[in-house]
Amino acid sequence: MTAAIIDGAAVAARLRSEITREVEQMVAAHGVRPGLATVLVGDNPASQTYVRMKRKACEEVGIQSFGHELPADASQEEVEGLVRSLNADPAIHGILVQLPLPGHLNEEAILNAISIEKDVDGFHPVNIGRLAMKGREPLFIPCTPHGVIVLLEEAGAKFEGANAVVLGRSNIVGMPAAMLLVHRNATVTICHSRTKDLPEVCRRADILVAAVGRAEMVRGDWIKPGAIVIDVGTNRVDDPAAKRGYRLVGDVAFDEAKEVAGAITPVPGGVGPMTIAMLLKNTLRGAELAVSQLA
Ligand code: NDP
């Protein structure tokens, strides 16, 4: 079998053009242009790149972006004070605090300070708590796990009663992805570094989501024939032949897996582009919430 390749870049491009249309409709109908504030503390080059990409993506769909940069030694009070001022600013509908924060800052307290109505990353404990509860809906779903679900839908996944295996239990990917799958009535197994017989657990998966950060850990013979595989992992491996000296690979050995799976996401070009598209969608949703409160 050769798997269908799930083209995350194409799905994200489609979403971005829908969002562009909806942003202009909102401006025309309510005179409100969605706005995203980014908060970057320190000068971590990867974080700077992520923030730049997010702000550029905003511009392309007509969302205003407001960049705030604080020095690496900014105090807890300064960062929380900035977040509180953004909470109060009516031009801002989403607040994104780029993680990781410098070690001296209390990340939990800073994320807690974001108004849940502007929590476009979906990391506020109230949003995560609602995601974990039966019959409750979060205001915002975390972007990467939401992208995973959209790609599964795109691949025609039948969630109800499916065996879904999620590799990884982080707050930002594995755990919320598992909760979203439970909401769709899949039977979910969450694996982590202490899981025994990982290949055997994976072989039972109709849906396999890999978010561990270990280059090509999941081999072809771990995959059930016909399974849908979503590879969240983004790992650099040395490659002297590549211009930058490295290339990006996922957590799944793609060449092996594509011979067994029914459908699979590539890395790059799978989940990565979806994360930013879902952030734009959440910012639009933040503006919709603000408009509905004006009515
Ligand atoms: P974390 O490091 O926070 O979590 C990794 C998880 O994988 C942990 O739960 C850990 O277990 C588990 N794990 C680690 N090693 C193993 C192993 N050998 N066997 C089984 N489980 C293992 O990572 P993130 O969730 O933040 O990210 C995961 C990957 O996804 C990374 O490659 C990251 O770059 C990528 N990513 C991609 C995004 C995108 O937009 N495409 C967005 C966010 C992340 P334990 O809990 O026991 O430590």
Q: Is 219 in the pocket of ligand 1 (CB under 6 A)?
A: no
Please, are residues 131 and 156 in contact by the beta-carbon 8 Å criterion? no
Let me know if residue 73 belongs to a domain. yes
- For residues 111 and 159, membership in a common domain is answered with no
Report the predicted TM-score, pTM, of the whole model to 2 decimal places.
0.96
- For residues 154 and 267, membership in a common domain is answered with yes
- What residues act catalytically? 54, 98, 121
- For residues 94 and 194, membership in a common domain is answered with no
Q: Is 176 in the pocket of ligand 1 (CB under 6 A)?
A: no
What does the pLDDT read at residue 183?
A: 95
Let me know if residue 11 belongs to a domain. no
Query: What token pair was written down for 279?
Result: 């952030």
Measured CA to CA, the distance from residue 163 to residue 206 in angstroms comes to 5
> How many Cβ atoms are within 10 Å of 156's Cβ, its own excluded?
11
> Does position 264 have pLDDT exceeding 90, yes or no?
yes
What's the mean pLDDT in 47-69? 97
> What is the number of domains present in the chain?
2
Let me know if residue 202 belongs to a domain. yes
Mutate to test the pocket of ligand 1, among 193, 197, 198, 217 (most ligand atoms within 8 A of CB): 193
- For residues 164 and 72, membership in a common domain is answered with no
- Percent with pLDDT over 70 in the chain: 100
What does the pLDDT read at residue 96?
A: 98
Q: Considering the chain, what is the average pLDDT of its residues?
A: 97
Q: What is the dihedral of CA 187, 190, 196, 202, to 10 degrees?
A: 60
Let me know if residue 207 belongs to a domain. yes
Q: What is the dihedral of CA 45, 50, 55, 58, to 10 degrees?
A: 170
- For residues 168 and 52, membership in a common domain is answered with no
What does the pLDDT read at residue 295?
A: 74
Let me know if residue 124 belongs to a domain. no
What does the pLDDT read at residue 145?
A: 98
Q: Is 166 in the pocket of ligand 1 (CB under 6 A)?
A: no
215 CA → ligand 1 middle, Å: 11
The CATH number covering residue 66 comes to 3.40.50.10860
Mutate to test the pocket of ligand 1, among 212, 218, 219, 247 (most ligand atoms within 8 A of CB): 212
- For residues 248 and 171, membership in a common domain is answered with yes
pLDDT (tens digit per residue) in 78-111: 999 999 999 999 999 999 999 999 999 999 999 9
- For residues 161 and 49, membership in a common domain is answered with no
What does the pLDDT read at residue 130?
A: 96
Task: For 23-47, give the DSSP string.
Answer: HHHHHHHHS---EEEEEEES--HHH
170 CA → ligand 1 middle, Å: 6
The CATH number covering residue 168 comes to 3.40.50.720
- For residues 159 and 111, membership in a common domain is answered with no
Let me know if residue 5 belongs to a domain. no
The residue range of the domain holding 98 is 30-115
243 CA → ligand 1 middle, Å: 26
pLDDT (tens digit per residue) in 278-290: 999 999 999 999 9
Let me know if residue 164 belongs to a domain. yes
Residue nearest to atom 47 of ligand 1 (CA): 193
Task: For 100-133, give the DSSP string.
Answer: SPPTTS-HHHHHHHS-GGG-TT--SHHHHHHHHS
What does the pLDDT read at residue 237?
A: 96
Q: Of 97, 115, 133, at which residue does a domain stop?
A: 115
pLDDT (tens digit per residue) in 203-238: 999 999 999 999 999 999 999 999 999 999 999 999
pLDDT (tens digit per residue) in 166-209: 999 999 999 999 999 999 999 999 999 999 999 999 999 999 99
Query: What token pair was written down for 94?
Result: 């989403």
pLDDT (tens digit per residue) in 133-173: 999 999 999 999 999 999 999 999 999 999 999 999 999 99
